[in-house]
Amino acid sequence: MRPPRQFRALAHPMLTTRIRVLTTALLLILLSGLHGAFAQTGACCPSCDLSECVIVTQEECEDLLGFYAGDGTTCEVDCGEPLIIPDAANCTVVPADALGGLFLCPAVPSPVEGSSIVVTVNDNCNDPMGHVAVTVELLDRNPRCGPAILSGVTNSDGEVTFLLSGSGCSHQIALSGVIKANGVTMRAYPHVKSPDTDANGRVELGDLVSFANEFIGATPSECHDYDNDETTALSDLVLFASAFIAANHCP
């Protein structure tokens, strides 16, 4: 049976599609308006750049780097002290960040370049954090020897210096070199390497042989690739040579 004349135009396929599109668009506009009208707001407490409490949505509060106290809260809420914590993204470790790992070396008669590192701790507002307890944690496969300094407290510039006096090799081993500030992990390096690769406490002939084998490609570039660029090359030789020439050793 054919539809009545007045409904025949609506039954046309093209018109039906247009009506559906229009209806969907109207529904979307309506829903987005409702969402905006009912978006939850609450107190956004000061942190970093936000100096005073404001009433915004949680998303807006996160954009302001504030601390969102919850939907429906007002600025009468107790915001407490601004949230200030060590921030790994704002922290630097020289030269380990450039090397992609930690470089250890027995420090007698004197520390070699690269085995002394400076950790700078900045907070989530990117300001230096003084009086922060910082530690360097190593695996047993990287034995330490005196005068290693693996813990300290930052100065007013957020800086603390460590002396990585030690041996052994951790190559592509997760969490082999972990640096923490107030217990918060700032770095977790997969590489911790020393010219004293065989960990007998001295940089000597045996280490030179294994270095040479990597250098000429007889063995894969691993334990003597101190800058972790997957090649034991001139930049690694510079670090090795100073330790070998001075016959660096543990006390």
For binding to Ca ion (CB under 5 A), which residues are involved?
A: 196, 198, 200, 202, 207, 225, 227, 229, 231, 236
Cα distance between residue 33 and residue 129, in whole Å: 45
SS3 235: helix
d(CA 143, CA 240) in angstroms, rounded, equals 18
- Minimum Å distance from CB 205 to Ca ion? 8
Of 123 and 236, nearer to Ca ion (C-beta) is 236
The position carrying tokens 């100096």 is 51
Contact 34, 3 (CB under 8 A): no
Whole-number minimum distance, CB 167 to Ca ion, in Å? 7
> In angstroms, what is the minimal distance from the CB of 249 to Ca ion?
8
Q: Which is nearer to Ca ion, 87 or 196 (CB)?
A: 196
Taking the complex as a whole, how short is the minimal distance between the CB of residue 139 and Ca ion, in angstroms?
Answer: 18
CB 137 within 8 A of CB 164: no
Give the C-alpha separation, 71 to 130, whole Å: 35
Residue 50 vs 243, nearer CB to Ca ion = 243
- Closer to Ca ion by CB, 123 or 225: give it: 225
**Residue 7 — left, alpha, or beta (φ > 0 → left; ψ -120 to 50 → alpha)?**
alpha
For residue 115, give every residue at least 6 positions away whose Cβ sits within 8 Å of its Cβ, in sequence order, or none. 103, 104, 105, 107, 163, 164, 165
**Choice between 82 and 201, CB closer to Ca ion:** 201
Provide the minimum distance between the beta carbon of 213 and Ca ion in the complex, in angstroms, as a whole number.
14
Q: How far is the CB of 87 from Ca ion (least distance, A)?
A: 30
- Residue 47 to residue 42: CA distance in whole angstroms: 15
DSSP letter, residue 36: H
- Helix ranges (DSSP H) in the chain: 5-8, 13-38, 58-63, 96-99, 205-215, 234-245
Please, what is the minimum distance in Å from the beta carbon of residue 141 to Ca ion?
14
Of 66 and 114, nearer to Ca ion (C-beta) is: 114
> Looking at beta carbons only, is 175 or 238 nearer to Ca ion?
238
